[in-house]
Structure 1
Amino acid sequence: MTVPTSTGNKSLLVLGDSLSAAYGLDIHQGWVSLLQNQYPQLNVVNASISGETTSGGKQRLTSLLEKHKPDIMILELGANDALRGQDLNVSQANLQQMIEACPLFNQACKVILLGVQLPTNYGPAYDALFQKMYKKLAEKNSLLFDPFFLEPVALDPDLMQWDGLHPNSEAQPVILERVAPLVERAVKNLEAN
C-alpha cells in the first residue's frame, strides 16, 4: 500500500513516549523513522521523548503545533502516566486537550490515537480503566484509533528488549505495518476535504 503522491508535503507530528522514540535503539531503527522512509512525501516530525507523560506532552504541544502546523498528529501517550499510577481522569483530560489543540493550528488536522496495554502486575481493574480511557477519547472525537498498537510484538519475547516493555529493532517494521493503514486513512481523509 502506498500513500498517493499527489498529497504534496503533508506534515505528520508524532507525540509519544519511549515506544515512539526508539528507546534502546538507534533512532533510525525506530518505527517513526521507518514511516518517514516508507512515505517520503510526508514530512514526519518525531517529537517523542522517553518517559514522557500526558502532562509533559501537553506542555510541549503548543510550541510544536505553532512550529509544524501538522496535517496529521499521532498521539501515543499515557503509558507512563499509568506506570506511575496517576489519576487516569487527569490523563484523559490532558489527552483531550491535546486532541482539541491540533485543529486550532491547522483546521484540517487529523489525529491518530495509539493505545497500549499495561503489564499484568498493574491489576485488571486499573488496566480496564486505562483501556476505557483510550476508547472513550477515540469515540468522543471520532479518531483513527488502535487500542493496542504493540499487539503484534508485545507477547513475543524475540521481538522485545530485555525489559519486556520496549520492542527491539526486529519489531519496528512490524509496528510500522500495524500503524501504516491508519496513516494512509488519515491522508485519504485529508485529500477528501
Structure 2
Amino acid sequence: MTKVATILLLLLVSSFQPRPKKHIIFFGDSLTAGYGVAPAQSFPSLIQHRLDSLHLPYSITNAGVSGETSSGGRSRISWVLRQPVDIFVLELGANDGLRGIPVSGTTENLQAIIDAVKTKYPSARIILAGMQMPPSMGATYATAFRNIFPSLAARNKTALIPFLLQNVGGIPRLNQPDGIHPNPAGHRIVADNVWRTLKPLL
C-alpha cells in the first residue's frame, strides 16, 4: 500500500470514529427536574432528544432538585462539578422569589455558583435562565427580582435566556393544576426557549 493510500485509509477510518461527547449540565429546581411530568417529557430530556436527532455529540445531566433555592444550589455545586462540564445552564431563583428572599441574597448565591463553575472549568460556557415573579409579590420586588438575571449575565458575560417560562407562565392550558409547573405541552415550549440560547453555543 502506498503512503498516500495509507493516509487516505486512516482518514476514512477516523471519520467513522465517534466524537468524544461534550457535557451539558442543567442545574436547577423543580422546573429543570421536570416535576409532575415523565422524565422524558422534561425540557432537558427534550433538548437531549433534539441534540441526538441532529447527531450532535453532547450528553446532558439533569441536576434539577425540586424545591431548590439558590442557597441550596450554592451548597451542592461543588458536588455537581465533580463531573466535567462544557456548557452549564443555571436555572435557580424561582423558589427564592416565591419565598420573598431578599434579592441581594439570591444575587450573591447565583454569583457564587457562577464563580464556582468558572474556577473549576474556565472554558465552560454558562447560560443563565431568567425568571420572573407574579404581580402578587409586589411590583417593587418583582422588578428587582427580574433584574437579577440580565444584570448577572452582563457582569459575567454569560448567555441569557430572558425568561425561561416565556409563553408558558400564567397560561393555564400549558401548566399543571398548581399553576406553577409546566405540563408536557409547556415543557415543549420551554425547550424551545432554551434552544434559542443554547444552539449558538454548540
TM-score (norm 1): 0.89
Partner of 1:153, secondary structure, is coil
User: How many angstroms does 1:39 deviate by?
Assistant: 1.0
Aligned-residue sequence identity (percent) comes to 35
User: How many angstroms does 1:156 deviate by?
Assistant: 2.1
- Taking the aligned partners of 2:102 and 2:173, their CA distance within structure 1 comes to 33
Runs of 4+ in 1 over 4 A off after TM superposition: none
Q: Which of 132, 139, 142 in structure 1 is aligned with 2:154?
A: 139
1:69 aligned partner: 84
Q: What RMSD over aligned residues (CA atoms) do the two structures have, in Å? A: 1.4
Partner of 1:162, secondary structure, is coil
Highest RCO, 1 vs 2 (Cα 8 Å, sep ≥ 6): 1
1:7–1:145: structure 2 CA closer, same or farther, 3 Å change rule? Answer: farther
Residue type of the alignment partner of 1:14: F
Matched, 1:150 2:165: yes
- Taking the aligned partners of 2:172 and 2:19, their CA distance within structure 1 comes to 38
Matched, 1:47 2:59: no
Matched, 1:10 2:26: no
Task: Report the number of matched residues.
Answer: 181
1:69·1:105 contact (CA, 8 Å) conserved in 2?
no
Residue type of the alignment partner of 2:32: S
1:7–1:171: structure 2 CA closer, same or farther, 3 Å change rule? Answer: farther
User: How many angstroms does 1:61 deviate by?
Assistant: 0.6
Matched, 1:169 2:181: no
Partner of 1:154, secondary structure, is coil
Q: Which of 73, 77, 86 in structure 1 is aligned with 2:101?
A: 86
2:4 aligned partner: none
- Taking the aligned partners of 2:122 and 2:179, their CA distance within structure 1 comes to 39
User: How many angstroms does 1:103 deviate by?
Assistant: 2.3
- Taking the aligned partners of 1:78 and 1:155, their CA distance within structure 2 comes to 18
Greater Cα radius of gyration, structure 1 or 2: 2
Structure 1's unaligned 5+ residue stretches are: 1-5, 188-193
